[in-house]
Structure 1
Amino acid sequence: MNAVRLLVVTAVTAERDAAARGLDATAPPRPHPLPGHRMVRTTGHGVPRPVRADLVAAGVGPAAAAAATGAALTAAALWREPYDLVIAAGIAGGFAPVADLGGVVVADRVVAADLGAETADGFLPVDALGFGTTVHTCAPRLGAAVARALGAVHAPVLTVSTATGTTESAAALRHRHQDAAAEAMEGFGVAEAAAAHGVPLLEIRTVSNTVGARDRAAWRIPEALAALRDTFAVLRTVLDRAAPPPYM
């Protein structure tokens, strides 16, 4: 069977390398050219279908994520190696008690939580202003299957440009997005680029800290990176056995 082609977009190299180890523990990923970005390619193993991934550390924030994702998708189209699936991935803050430390969140939707305008009556998202969208839906059937396999929360992941650092701002964010499970900083940028190229999307996050008052001593980054590695090992197995792309 044909290989599954993945593009995995993270913020930093530690997240990228954890995902790469999960996808293929048999050999280190090799550098793969993408101008202006740090991308690697896994060898790809799997039965019955190999999973081959390009992984890029895009930088922090939705703008950097969109730029790197768009560059990778354009390069793949020019090389006639299109991707079957784009995955925004990394560690994140979780909204307790929905997503606790060490947990995994598979997004059903990616939401730009702070894209809009402040008004005297409160925050207005950009779609309410008539300027675009703040929500992208992830591949529903595949996302549900991955969440089941991982025992993960399947719920919205918020994208913010400023990480939440107070109890008050966390409460305001949760009030506007009551079903959200996690907060990160790149997913919506990845989603915008994937949508422009017509490629299905997932966002997968492992929880390193609780959204709220900023307490670095309570963060569990090494544990979240280890969970990210393990998560991608499970994902590889799910993709081995999933129905052929496109993932809808």
Structure 2
Amino acid sequence: MRRVLVVTAVAAERDAVRAGGAGADGSGEAEPWSLPGGYEVRPVAGPAVALDVLAAGVGPAAAAAGTATALTAAALAGAPYDLVVSAGIGGGFRSAGVPVGSVVVADAIVAADLGAQTPDGFVPVTELGFGTVAHRPDKALADAVAQASGGAVGTVVTVSTVTGSAARAAELARRHPGVLAEAMEGFGVAEAAAAQGVAVLELRTVSNAVGPRDRAAWRIGDALAALTGAFRTFPEALAAARGPAGEPHRP
């Protein structure tokens, strides 16, 4: 059985993931357990995939800290994870035609605002000579998850400040061709996973359009329902992404 750590920001996202992983009757849900730092892991065990779901907090730093804690605890217990998934709701870019309620799977997890502002504009940290700004999940896995869930594949940017203007949305779209969605945790999860050599994926369902904040237009309930639906198809997608010898593809 494959062991997958799913990291969300908040409890509502965690519960939506578990509802999908447990199936319609909820039979896969098991008792939670605690990790150092006050983290609580809530497991779901299916016939082929065991999901451990952790609500680590909002933002890339909280996501990285929670992910690193869970990965380290699992490794020390002799039961390391095969895959880490950053999951939750997020904003979809109008320019990419991503509708509310749709599923987005990242083929690139990009830190949108890690760098420096200069008189000539934003410079990513890599152009300053250090660090990284992108992680690229395994393409076969991303494609399989998108196909199973009816989602789209593209860049998901991680921001520390949610976009609130049309100008900022246009700037992000210009700097990141192929961007479909923005969220606040994916890059932190990916950094923690990369540090321990664990494969990573990001899956988002769209609750609102990126740009001017119009809370009346947000559809959080629809996005959470879509998140549950996506995780109902997740075991099928993992099976489809396995190599010819039955082993999962590695990035």
What TM-score do the two structures reach when normalised by structure 1? 0.94
Match of 1:245 among 223, 244, 248: 248
Which runs of at least 4 in structure 1 moved beyond 4 Å after TM superposition? none
Structure 1 segment 218-233 matched on structure 2, within 5 A: 218-233=217-232
Could you tell me which runs of 5 or more consecutive residues in structure 1 were left unpaired when the two chains were aligned: none
CA positional deviation for 1:231: 0.3
- Which residue identity lines up with residue 146 of structure 2 in the other structure? A
Equivalence for 2:174: 175
- Which residue identity lines up with residue 100 of structure 1 in the other structure? P
Structure 1 segment 1-248 matched on structure 2, within 5 A: 3-25=1-23, 26-27=26-27, 28-35=29-36, 36-42=38-44, 44-46=45-47, 50-98=48-96, 99-243=98-242, 244-245=247-248, 247-248=250-251
Residues in 2 aligned to 1:4 and 1:75: alpha-carbon distance in whole angstroms = 17
Secondary structure of the residue aligned to 1:30 is coil
Aligned residues: 242
Residues in 1 aligned to 2:34 and 2:51: alpha-carbon distance in whole angstroms = 13
Secondary structure of the residue aligned to 1:127 is helix
Render the CA deviation track for 1:67-90: whole Å, top value 9, x for unaligned: 000000000000011001000000
- Which residue identity lines up with residue 237 of structure 1 in the other structure? E
- Which residue identity lines up with residue 245 of structure 1 in the other structure? P
CA positional deviation for 1:241: 4.9
Secondary structure of the residue aligned to 2:179 is coil
CA positional deviation for 1:162: 0.1
Residues in 2 aligned to 1:172 and 1:20: alpha-carbon distance in whole angstroms = 35
Could you tell me which runs of 5 or more consecutive residues in structure 2 were left unpaired when the two chains were aligned: none
Asked whether the equivalents of residues 95 and 173 of structure 2 are also in contact (C-alpha less than 8 Å), the reply is no
Residues in 1 aligned to 2:248 and 2:34: alpha-carbon distance in whole angstroms = 25
CA positional deviation for 1:117: 0.3
Secondary structure of the residue aligned to 1:75 is helix
CA positional deviation for 1:147: 1.2
Which stretch has the larger CA shift, 9-18 or 92-101?
92-101
Residues in 2 aligned to 1:79 and 1:246: alpha-carbon distance in whole angstroms = 24
CA positional deviation for 1:53: 1.2
Residues in 1 aligned to 2:53 and 2:250: alpha-carbon distance in whole angstroms = 19
RMSD: 1.2
